[in-house]
A and B are shown apart, each in its own frame.
Chain A
Amino acid sequence: MKVSFKLNGRSVKWDCEANESLRDALRRKGITSVRNGCDGEGSCGLCAVILDGRPVNSCQILALQAEGCELATVEQQSRERKLSIVQRALVDASCVQCGYCTPAVALAVQDLLERSKDPSEEEIRDALSGTLCRCTGYEQFYAAVRIASKRLTDPGYADPAGPEFRKDLRHVGKDREKVDAAALALGEKAFVEDRVEAGACHLAMLRSPHAHAWIKSIDTAEAEAMSGVVEVLTYLNCPGAVYTTAGQGFPEPSPYDQRMFSKKLRHVGDRVAAVLAESPEEAAAALKAIKVEYEVLKPVLSIAQAKAAGAPVVHSGAVSYVVGEAPAGTSVEGDGRDDPIIYQFPLHADPHHNLAASVADGIGDIEKGFAEADVVIERKYKGNRVQCTPMEPHVVYAKIDSGRLVIHASTQVPWHLRRIVATAVGISENKVRVIKERVGGGFGAKQDIVLEDVVGYLAWKTGRSVFWRYSREEEFVASRTRHVMEVTVKLGAKRDGTLTAILMRLDADTGPYGQHCLTVPMNAISKSLPLLLCDNARFEVKSYYTNLSPAGAYQGYGAPKGSFALQTALAELAAELGLDQIDMIEKNRVRSGARIEILKSLGEGRPGAAVTLGECGLGEMLDRGMKAFAWRGPRPESSDRDWRLGRGAVIIQQGSGLPGLDSANAELRLLRDGTVLMLSGGADLGTGLDTLTSKAAAEILGLEMGDVAVISGDTDITPFDKGAYASSGTFFSGNAAVRAAEDLRDKIIATAALILGEDPADLKIAHRGMVKGKKGEISLARLAHMSTQGEGHGELVGFGNFKTEHAAFPYGAHFVQVAVNTRTGEVRLDRYHAYQDCGTPINPALAIGQIYGGVLKAIGHSLYEEMLYDDNGRCINANFLDYKIPTINEIPKDFHVELVPVADEVGPFGGKSVSEIALNGAAPAISIAIHDAVGAWLREWPFTSERVLRAMGKL
């Protein structure tokens, strides 16, 4: 049918099917700013358009309903690619992180300002109530609206500068525009889905309806014969290699226990068969024609079931080790039906008893420590399964170009992706190119290779271009989730609060496969235990296979659950001793110059070493938080008899990459006109890493930000980088960029010295783009020109590699105030202050935005996010209607982030990591505050109203 309407001021007449949504029609016609995050549930708002003057979700409107309407998308705001007032304000207020939601936010704000020139906070919340953002924590949107509002009457208005650091530097420590922000705000092509070419085939996956089953038979003949079907792939015709999907440094500390397709199905949503077809409709139709007979097995649906005697075995294949031997007493013989399991090195595993990995170690003598204690407590804490929910689901587009496999990926780990896909497909790495596009949120889930293997194989096998984008349901059940962890903490202390012994026993549920099975649970220990100084400490970590959704990396990487357990237990012990919980922290916390002995036991897959800490900002952070919360003053009291107020505070830490294990590289080229091109291996996920590497070049070479262009994460063009995980971006990729810039600077100086006839020691780089000596000067443009001519010395290129044994810990102190309704169990978060040390904040507003975003994710995890399963292992809330993530309405009334920098001697310009640590504080701080309010300890998150009432004994 024909539909005519006005789109961005121009009349259009389109052919649309009756069942085509307005969202799909707009995207089909090239309106890239219209996105999709919830598959038409109307929950995310990313497909927003202005229809007859009102913002609406275009997913729930038929294209034919637009007949005669006036329709506007964000493209209307920015004729000739110039940012509108609203878009510019969003960029200036650092609201653009991954940018997937930015066009929708821009439309909502535009509509708001047309209704209200000077909107209140309530009006701003209402305007943005329909837009989900997982990156920013929404707080900075208020500033963006305020800026845009003022510029309506005063176009030159500039908001007062935020906090600045390092007065000795031009760019570092000051807010600069994020290098990709403008393109993202304009809604231009940036993401994988924008790269799909005409004629591309579409992949659809038949998924297991059973949590645990064998495929008895599978018949794909009818599907293969259907119109448009190019290929059907099952365990019968896929490559035989087993691998891990974990994008970790090789050799990975994760077992190779996954084949592209397996005869054994290990979770609801596991791969059964893939159909490649020429249209999504044909692929979906063919899926229905595949006939499968299952032998259903009893599933393993909890850690307790996994370790019970006689439990069903999730993996029953033969076990082998590339290096080392199987632990004594474990079986390695397979049952002949299941796929093999290959460990790169021993992880104290016993997979035939569902134990994927384990580790135990410690310092001192804990029995002696507990014997010396005046008080000993033992508590068990549980954190449930949550999903990363990037607004852009997993997506990939692969094609064959000049005989090579080219993969446009939304990934955190381009180089690990290349290696794993090459292994899975059975080709060499030089046949594979990975191009990391803008990533619409990763948060750890995109550290795993969950769809690129099968897409890469089918593109390689058929020669066809292949596009596959997860549905939101697939994102829940077949992506990666945060491990369920059960942590038992035993603490002993003297009456004055001095800890004498700490024991942490941690059981984790890795799900059906073992990606990150050791390292995530281990991180729960290694990012919590070193916060407390105690001579006697021990940990025991076990990670079990179950038949629930796959676990993996998620921002914080286990640390939030370790932090929840240990910090809450410390507060419980303080309560036992009658001490203020901050006095208890002060008595035992790590501090400047402390020797952290426990790090001897906490090497990442290799022997660790004790560390003497340099400067530690925890004392300052605690002081600031105590002052803001008037901690030593009278308790806050509620005037409403239903509500009681409580406060909580915690200290937290993270790392900055993996010392001794990972490395990063960068290359910096001087171009003919004196500008430079940064080739960074780093994977910017919306975190601002490209802005950081750009700043490094501009700072060191005396340039402006616009003089630096960045290409990153392209395995053909940019040098190797370990990827964006373990809080390594700033520290590793940033330092590689610094070194590349320093290398280029040195080469510039050396070349200029030859040209000017001066001693290199007398030459300096000067702003902007000049080399100045005692006798003369030369511009970088002139230098570049001369270097690339026949009489020159060749193109000037700097190269930087960074690796280190230095561990740079960011620290933080988080304070909360909650109100708890004693009749209903409702928890209202009134105040949340995050004081964090990220070393020198390279781009302060972006750092603050990442902290807001991290904290709000953790608030969601703490209060209501939880994947729920039925008795058959099926996730029953795998969508945004039933699994709620925070909206702008969920942010605390008083939401405050403050940077307390303590420069690191190795970090780039003194910088450390910033993002992951922000997730470590909410759960324990809120739990402690709930106890402070109503006297009940919440030891399982999320702290739903129901759990609160049960803890209070009211249900």
Chain B
Amino acid sequence: MNGIVDYTRPSSLAEALEQKAANPGAAWLAGGTGILAGDSRPRPAALIDVGRLLPRAIRMADGELLMGAGASFQDIADCDLVPASLREAALTMVNRNTRNRATIGGNLGANKSCASLIPLLLVLDAKLIVEGGKKTRLGAAEWLADRSGLVLEAAIASDPGRRSSYLRWARSSCDLSVLTVAVSCIVTSAGLSSLRIAMGGLASHARRFGELEALFEGMALPPREAIEAASAPLFNPIDDLRASAAFKRLRAATLLADAMHAAAGSALAASSPAATPGVRQ
């Protein structure tokens, strides 16, 4: 593999952070499915292997779901404690061999536009427990803004009544996600409450779409056609080899509509059924 000249396997987190401080250009290494992908791609000259130092357990503590940053996508998929939408998001990394190595920490650290987990972590208001950063506990969006320190765990607080959904579009099952959307909300008799929407594939990173949340907050669930019509003009994707910007705009709108209907549930969407996976309360 190109470039790697220095590989270290520190025996403690403290040692790992010392090594990082001494060599800020060194990269964290856990599963390696991102940073080691492609034989001919450039690599960091130095790697600090924290694969065995990161917590891997997924557990409940003090009303929170705590997921170790070293937990693999397969660990997430296999764990009944994890919200179903997040488990299904993990399964959208369809390649099982990769799921067995790829970690939550790696997904956050790479912060790619097509990241499978980040949109859901954003709409579930996940907090990250971080070592060696500016704060030890902060929101996922805040951490992603500068990614300083080493994420140890992701925490999701219990939020009874909140529903969530996750959908993606890719050209084929094992393709990278071109578009992702995660929605969470509380459904009341008055309509959608505390609506959160995060999408990937529309910019360099997945992000919350506050403008969309504001658009639909408090409303009764609109028909899918209305959601599509209202949201499409807000998307500004780019042309690439996977699809044209025009198609992505349309497809993002349909994904959002389906995800909102999936999250809000069939009771409110009876007039406009959406056959979509990844929906759990």
Residues of A with Cβ closer than 8 Å to B? 1, 18-21, 39-43, 45, 48, 54-57, 59-62, 64-65, 67, 108, 126-127, 129-131, 471, 473, 640-643, 823-824, 863-864, 868, 876-877, 879, 881-882, 884, 886-887, 889-890, 944-946, 949, 954-955
Contacts and interface: CB of A to CB of B under 8 A. Distances in A.
Nearest to A16: B7
A60 B33 CA distance: 6
A955 B275 contact: no
Contacts of A64: 7, 9, 49
Nearest to B94: A129
B171 A19 contact: no
Contact of B172 (A55, A57, A864): A864
9 contacts: A19-B5, A40-B1, A55-B96, A57-B97, A62-B36, A108-B96, A823-B224, A884-B172, A884-B174
Contacts of B43: 19
A237 B183 CA distance: 64
A129 B250 CA distance: 29
Contacts of A45: 95, 97
B241 A876 contact: yes
Contacts of B49: 62, 64-65
B6 A18 contact: yes
A823 B31 CA distance: 38
Question: Nearest 4 pairs between A and B by C-beta?
Answer: A130-B97, A889-B173, A40-B39, A19-B4
Nearest to B4: A19
A62 B171 contact: no
A1 B37 contact: no
B136 interface: no
Interface string B151-194: 00000000000000000010111111000000000000000000
Interface of B: 1-7, 9, 29, 31-33, 36-40, 43, 47, 49, 51, 74, 94-98, 100-101, 169, 171-176, 224, 241-244, 246-247, 250-251, 254, 273, 275
A881 B171 CA distance: 11
Given A55-B100, A945-B247, A60 B6 contact: no
Contact of A946 (B29, B33, B40, B243): B243
A56 B7 contact: no
Contacts of B9: 64-65, 67
A641 B271 CA distance: 11
Contacts of B176: 881
Contacts of B241: 868, 876-877, 882
Looking at A19, A59, A108, A877, which has the most chain B CB atoms within 10 Å of its CB? A19
Contacts of B47: 18, 62
A61 B98 CA distance: 11
Contact of B247 (A42, A879, A955): A955
A64 to B, nearest CB: 5
B229 to A, nearest CB: 12
A41 B51 contact: no
B129 to A, nearest CB: 24
Contact of A62 (B3, B32, B244, B250): B32
B1 A955 contact: no
Contact of A41 (B6, B7, B37, B242): B37
Contact of B2 (A19, A54, A471): A19
B96 A129 contact: yes
Contacts of B4: 18-19, 62
A705 B26 CA distance: 59
A949 B250 contact: yes
A886 B97 contact: no
Given A62-B32, A640-B273, A868-B241, A890 B172 contact: yes
Contacts of A127: 96
Nearest to B39: A40
A108 B246 CA distance: 40
Contacts of B242: 882
A482 B171 CA distance: 21
A949 B243 CA distance: 12
B273 A641 contact: yes
Contacts of A955: 246-247, 250
A21 B174 contact: no
A884 B174 CA distance: 8
Contacts of A473: 40
B260 to A, nearest CB: 14
A20 B36 CA distance: 11
B3 A42 contact: no
Given A19-B4, A946-B247, A955-B247, A60 B174 contact: no
B100 to A, nearest CB: 4
Given A60-B98, A823-B254, 17 more contacts: A19-B3, A19-B4, A19-B5, A20-B1, A21-B36, A40-B1, A40-B37, A41-B38, A42-B95, A54-B74, A60-B36, A62-B49, A64-B7, A67-B9, A471-B39, A640-B275, A823-B224
A67 B94 CA distance: 28
A204 B49 CA distance: 32
A849 to B, nearest CB: 22
A642 B36 contact: no
Given A39-B38, A40-B38, A56 B2 contact: no
Contacts of A129: 94-96, 173-174
Contacts of B96: 55, 108, 126-127, 129-130
A946 B244 contact: yes
B251 A824 contact: yes
A708 to B, nearest CB: 38
Contacts of A882: 241-242
Given A42-B97, A56-B100, A21 B1 contact: yes
Looking at A20, A65, A130, A945, which has the most chain B CB atoms within 10 Å of its CB? A65
Contacts of B250: 949, 954-955
Contacts of B5: 18-19
B278 to A, nearest CB: 15
A574 B67 CA distance: 60
Contacts of A879: 38
Contacts of A59: 36, 39
Nearest to A54: B100
A55 B95 CA distance: 11
B171 to A, nearest CB: 5
A877 B94 CA distance: 20
A887 B96 CA distance: 12
B226 to A, nearest CB: 13
Contacts of A877: 241
A108 B95 CA distance: 11
A882 B74 CA distance: 24
